[in-house]
Amino acid sequence: MNDLIAMFELTLVDDVIKVVQESHYQLVPHQRIHESELRRYNQLT
């Protein structure tokens, strides 16, 4: 298990389940988050 967590927000539309949004998170020790990644996250809106 590498602590990769996929999260889905679901809703019902006409009795059918639809995905509203999806995100993938990975839980890591702080040393494994590099500056380049933090810069990238800052550019995302």
Partner 1 sequence: MVDDGKGKTQNRYQRIAEKIFFDRYQAGRTVLPFLRTDLESAAEELGVALPKNLGDVVYALRYRIEMPKRIRDTQTGEKEWVIQGAGRAKYEFRLVTVNRIKPNPHLLTIKIPDATPEIINAYAFSDEQALLAKVRYNRLIDLFLGLPTFSLQNHLRTTVKGVGQIEIDEIYVGIDKKGRQFVIPVQAKGGNDQLEGSKRGRICYVAGKNFQISFVGRYPPNSS
Q: Write out the binding residues for partner 1, residues 1-45 only, by CB under 8 A.
A: 1-12, 15-17, 19, 21-30, 32-33, 37, 41, 44
Instruction: Specify the 3-state DSSP secondary structure of 30.
Output: helix
Q: What is the largest CA-CA distance in the chain?
A: 46
Q: Count residues near partner 1 (CB under 8 A).
A: 31
CA separation for the pair 27, 37 (Å, rounded): 14
Instruction: Specify the 3-state DSSP secondary structure of 36.
Output: helix
Q: How far is the CB of 35 from partner 1 (least distance, A)?
A: 12
Contacting positions for partner 1 (CB under 8 A):
1-12, 15-17, 19, 21-30, 32-33, 37, 41, 44
